[in-house]
Structure 1
Amino acid sequence: MQAIILAAGMGKRLKELTQDNTKCMVKVDGISLIERALGQLDRLGLSKIVIVVGYEGQKLIDYIGTLAVQTPVVYINNEIYDKTNNIYSLALAKEYLLKEDTLLLESDIIFEEAVLRALVDDPRDTLALVDKYERWMDGTVVKLDEEDRIIEFVPGKKFKFSEQDSYYKTVNLYKFSREFARNRYVPFLEAYQKALGNNEYYEQVLSVISILDEPVIKAKRLHGERWYEIDDVQDLDIATTLFAESEDERVSLLGARYGGYWRYPKLLDFCYLVNPYFPPQKLKDELQANFDVLLTQYPSGMRVNALLAAKNFAVRPEHIVVGNGAAELIKEVMEQIGGNCGFIRPTFEEYPNRFPTERSVIFVPQTEDFSYTAEDVIAYFTAHPISCLVMINPDNPTGNYLDHGEQMKLLTWCDREQITLIWDESFSDFADEPDNQMLTEELLEQYPKLIVVKSISKSYGVPGLRLGVLASGNETLIADLKKRAVIWNINSFAEYYMQIAEKYKKDYVAAMEKFREERAWLAGELEQIAHMRVYPTQANYFMVELLDGRRSGDVVRELLVHEQILLKDLTGKIKCGDRQFLRIAIRNRVENERMVRALENILK
């Protein structure tokens, strides 16, 4: 068996990375695509590797000459690479296709060795490697029958999103038998090329062959093996994460993305915090039904969006401002704070990160689970005077919760001492007493130094909309924040969500009841796992402590690498001797069960 690599393309979408190099010389985690591929092919004991070069061909040839490749390498030059597509490159190598069985691959694919082995070790002699279609994939897809026959090749221009569940993506790795090349592929290639020219793709020939009564070529389905096609810098960034040399590096790179995990469809995210039971399907259908209008129309300005937020939260428009996520509002309000500001750690770091360290006063509860009462807070900040206090309730990551009586005790003290109280209740809807909240018109009017922040992303399950609100009876502050915001600080989808949200209040109440049942169930399951302590919570996550010397980083790494489950390592948030903590989000039952079983296997 031999291999043919198509490497003539210019890789224009990688911009400056391919100005002086071929696409396959681009490095992922310090190793070029071509070096990685040649190393994997070298271990197969092939008779030769044929490489079709073109753009910067001599530079690629010279580079490969520096690599320790034992398999003989043969080069074919596509001199008109800038005027042709890969059908012409493959046609240049057709004489080799006729001589022996062939592995055919494109040079911009990165894959783990298991991908190649899946193709080589399959006893069937002519195969197209495919993977279940995911949202990040682009290009040709196929439809298969139950016997792995390819019943249709679907090029990008004929792709139908309504049929995406039936699609498999071609990985651009193939195994052709000599007989298939002689009797089917090469004759059809020559005819296709003669009829339609050289500016076509070799997969179009396979599309024609697939409609024959006996198409011969079948699909080899992948089952979770890693691969990625690199067309642009975003692809390169994702591939760098997927194929990081060390597992620790992979975990670090993935965590540093702070979202965008739809590009990692097999990843189960127990790190970031959203409502697993809201929004309901009907609300999503309503958004989708208005997609065209929302995509092509400008959103309203701040005045209108403040009216919508005021309607949803039953406050006056002069008392509320809408943000592009709560993070935008946190940044703005923290820049307005004078004097010293009090924080309770461990906490959501967005607040202290937006405030000068030299004016920050930090209270760290000395209880084992970092719990605290209103009296604890009052006592500490009476001894360490402040002009502003930030409270998150339930707190993140501990889940500590102050009930209504404790809330009012703290609010009354802040009012008496003329302390601005920034109260973040982004997780309060998850609590067992969801009606006892600070975001009410009565409290805003009575306590002008009260500032309430609420992230709509977390409790309403719509983080992609980037919505948050800040409310206060201090109308001067609210007016100033509105002036500081850009004229269109939220998009039309977010505005429309606020417009229709009130219709789904009953669904929201039902979703929260279902969530609380799931939280109670998951608490019981987690408490059964050995070597782990589960702390009580009123939020949509648990903080757990690992016991008996277990390291949080090790657990996060093993879950991610072996189970594709992402948890939050709290090492950076909680520095308490050698104690080790994780934060675990609460998702739906099926996903929670999978996580629990995986965690049990690692910790037992």
Structure 2
Amino acid sequence: MQAIILAAGMGKRLKELTQNNTKCMVKVNGVSLIDRMIHQIQKQNVERIVIVVGYEREKLKEYIATLGITTPITFIDNPIYDKTNNIYSLSLASNYLCEDDTLLFESDLIFEDSVLDSLVRDPRPTLALVDKYESWMDGTCVKLDKDDNIEAFVPGKKFKFDEIKDYYKTVNIYKFSRDFSKTHYVPFLDAYQKALGENEYYEQVLRVITMLDDPVIKAKRLNGQKWYEIDDIQDLDIATSIFTPDEDEKVALLQSRYGGYWRYPKLLDFCYLVNPYFPPQKLVDEIKANFDTLLRDYPSGMRVNSLLAAKNFSVHQENILVGNGAAELIKSLMERINGKTGFVRPTFDEYPHRYDRAESVDFTPDNRDYNYSVDDLMDYFGDKEIKNLVVVNPDNPSGNYIPKKDLLRLIDWCMKKKINLILDESFADFSDEENNTFIDQEILNKYKNLYVMKSISKSYGVPGLRLGVLASGDTDLIAFMKKNVAIWNINSFAEFYMQIEEKYKKDYSAALVKFRAERARFQGELAEIPGVRVIPSQANFVMVELDKKISPKKLLKKLLTKHSLLIKELTTKTNGRNYLRLAVRDKEDDDRLVAAMKEEVRTFL
């Protein structure tokens, strides 16, 4: 068996990284793509490696000569690499295809060893390596039948998004038997190129072959093995985090992304917090049906969007403000207040991080559950001469919940002491107490010192829309903040969501009932794991304390690298103590986390 690598292209989308180097010389975690690939191929004991070169060919040849490869290497020059596509590069190596069984590669790939192992060890002689289509993938797709026959090649021009559940992406690694090359591929390659020219792609030849009664070639499906195609700097960034051998670096790189995990299709995110049972499919379909309009048209300005929020929460327009996520509103609000401000720690860090540390007064509950009551807050802050108090209810990460009647006592106390109360109720809908919102016109009218923040992303399960609201009886501050944020601070999709959300209130109520049941079940399952103590939560997450033998950082690393599960460890929030915060997802996902934790926790005990 031999290997053929197509490495003639210019890699223009990598911009300055390929100004003086070939695409395959770009490095991922300090190792070039071609270095990694050739060493992986050599492990398969191939007879020779044939590399088709073009752009910066001499640099590439000289570089490969330094890699210490013992397998014989033959170079084929493509002198018109800038005028042709890869069909011409492969045609230059067609004689080699007919001489031996061949592993065929494009040079812009990075993959783990098991990808190549699975292809080589498969007894079927002619295979196209494929993987289930994911949203980050680009290029040729195929449809398969149950016997791995390729029913159709789907080039980019014929790609249909409503059929993606049936698509597999070609990995651009193939195994061709010598007989297949001689009787099928090379003859069709020659004919196709003569008919349509040299500016085509070799996959199109395979598309024609699959139309034959006996195309010979089958698909080889991957099953979770890691690979990535690197076309641009974003691909390079993601590949760096996927393939870093340093587990600590892998954790840091993923955590520093703060989302965007759809580019990691096998990853389950138990770190960021949403509603797993809302929105319903009908709401999603309604947004899809209006996609073209929403994409092409400007959203309304602040006045109209405040009106929509006022309608949804049954308050007056002058009492509510819409934000590009609650984070935008938190930033604007914290910049507006002044004087000593009280915080409960640990809490949602966006509040204390947005305020002057010298003017901050922290209260930390003196118990292992980090729970506290209104009386605890009033006792602690009673003599601190604060002007503002921030309370997240339920709190993050503890899940501590203060009932509505007690919060009303706290608001009265704050009013008497001329303290502004900033109440974040982003997680309040998940609590067992219903009708607990403080975005209520009567309450806002009575308490001008109350500022109620709510993240629509967290409560309603639409974090991609970036929506949040702030409500208050302080209409002067609301009016100021409306001028302080951008006039188009939310997009058309977020506006349309607010426009239709009211129709789905029954669905939202039903989703909360399902959620509360799953949270209770999830907490029960976690409590059965030795070394794990569950702290009762009223939010859409659960905080757990680990046995002192269990390192939260090491457990996080194991869950991420071995099980593709991302969790939140809380050592920095709890002065080095052994706590985790785990988002509540649906039953299938939660069970996957519980099983992985059972497996890994026992290794510490």
What TM-score range do you get, normalising by the shorter chain? over 0.9
User: How much identity, in percent, do the aligned residues show?
Assistant: 63
Task: Check conservation: 2:321, 2:470, Cα contact below 8 A.
Answer: yes
Give the residue type in structure 2 aligned to 1:583. R
Shift of 1:383: 3.2
What is the aligned-residue RMSD (CA, Å)?
1.0
Spell out, residue by residue over 1:40-61, the C-alpha distance to the aligned partner (whole angstroms, 9 max, x if none).
Answer: 1121111111111111111111
Partner of 1:444: 444
Q: Aligned partners of 1:559 and 1:421: how far apart in 2?
A: 39
Partner of 1:3: 3
Q: How does 1:60-459 map to 2 (within 5 A)?
A: 60-459=60-459
Once the two structures are overlaid, the 10-residue window that deviates more, 61-70 or 388-397, is: 61-70
Q: Aligned partners of 2:269 and 2:111: how far apart in 1?
A: 23
Q: Aligned partners of 1:217 and 1:148: how far apart in 2?
A: 9
Shift of 1:406: 2.0
Q: Aligned partners of 1:408 and 1:427: how far apart in 2?
A: 18
Q: Aligned partners of 1:129 and 1:247: how far apart in 2?
A: 28
TM, length-normalised to structure 2: 0.98
Q: Aligned partners of 1:558 and 1:222: how far apart in 2?
A: 23
Partner of 1:487: 487
Partner of 1:582: 580
Once the two structures are overlaid, the 10-residue window that deviates more, 409-418 or 463-472, is: 409-418
User: Is the partner of 1:278 in helix, strand or coil?
Assistant: coil
Give the residue type in structure 2 aligned to 1:587. R
Shift of 1:159: 0.7
Shift of 1:237: 1.0
Give the residue type in structure 1 aligned to 2:104. L
Q: Aligned partners of 1:15 and 1:349: how far apart in 2?
A: 38
Once the two structures are overlaid, the 10-residue window that deviates more, 424-433 or 23-32, is: 23-32
From 592, 595, 599, the counterpart of 2:590: 592
Shift of 1:573: 2.0
Shift of 1:379: 1.7
Q: Aligned partners of 1:211 and 1:331: how far apart in 2?
A: 59
Partner of 1:603: 601
Q: Aligned partners of 1:196 and 1:282: how far apart in 2?
A: 46
Partner of 2:17: 17
Partner of 1:508: 508
Q: Aligned partners of 1:434 and 1:563: how far apart in 2?
A: 36
Give the residue type in structure 2 aligned to 1:133. Y
Spell out, residue by residue over 1:6-34, the C-alpha distance to the aligned partner (whole angstroms, 9 max, x if none).
Answer: 01111111111111111111111111111
Task: Check conservation: 2:414, 2:420, Cα contact below 8 A.
Answer: yes
Task: Check conservation: 2:343, 2:352, Cα contact below 8 A.
Answer: yes
Give the residue type in structure 1 aligned to 2:345. R
Q: Aligned partners of 1:350 and 1:64: how far apart in 2?
A: 50
Shift of 1:548: 4.2
Spell out, residue by residue over 1:509-533, the C-alpha distance to the aligned partner (whole angstroms, 9 max, x if none).
Answer: 1111111111111111111111100
Spell out, residue by residue over 1:456-490, the C-alpha distance to the aligned partner (whole angstroms, 9 max, x if none).
Answer: 00110111110000111111100110001111110
Q: Aligned partners of 2:65 and 2:381: how far apart in 1?
A: 69
Spell out, residue by residue over 1:170-204, the C-alpha distance to the aligned partner (whole angstroms, 9 max, x if none).
Answer: 00000111111111111111111111110000011
Give the residue type in structure 2 aligned to 1:285. D
Q: Aligned partners of 1:532 and 1:494: how far apart in 2?
A: 39
Give the residue type in structure 1 aligned to 2:410. L
Once the two structures are overlaid, the 10-residue window that deviates more, 6-15 or 63-72, is: 63-72
Shift of 1:508: 0.9
Give the residue type in structure 2 aligned to 1:585. A
Spell out, residue by residue over 1:259-279, the C-alpha distance to the aligned partner (whole angstroms, 9 max, x if none).
Answer: 111111111111111111111
User: Is the partner of 1:534 in helix, strand or coil?
Assistant: strand
Shift of 1:385: 2.3
User: Is the partner of 1:335 in helix, strand or coil?
Assistant: helix
Shift of 1:312: 0.7
Unaligned stretches of 5+ in structure 2? none
Spell out, residue by residue over 1:548-576, the C-alpha distance to the aligned partner (whole angstroms, 9 max, x if none).
Answer: 41111111111122221111121232214
User: Is the partner of 2:169 in helix, strand or coil?
Assistant: strand
Runs of 4+ in structure 1 off by over 4 angstroms are none
Task: Check conservation: 2:548, 2:578, Cα contact below 8 A.
Answer: no
Unaligned stretches of 5+ in structure 1? none
Give the residue type in structure 1 aligned to 2:215. P
Q: Aligned partners of 1:29 and 1:417: how far apart in 2?
A: 57
Shift of 1:425: 0.3
1:570 aligns with 2:570: yes
Give the residue type in structure 1 aligned to 2:118. A
How many correspondences in the alignment? 602
Q: Aligned partners of 1:284 and 1:144: how far apart in 2?
A: 28
Q: Aligned partners of 1:68 and 1:473: how far apart in 2?
A: 73
Partner of 2:461: 461
Shift of 1:313: 0.7
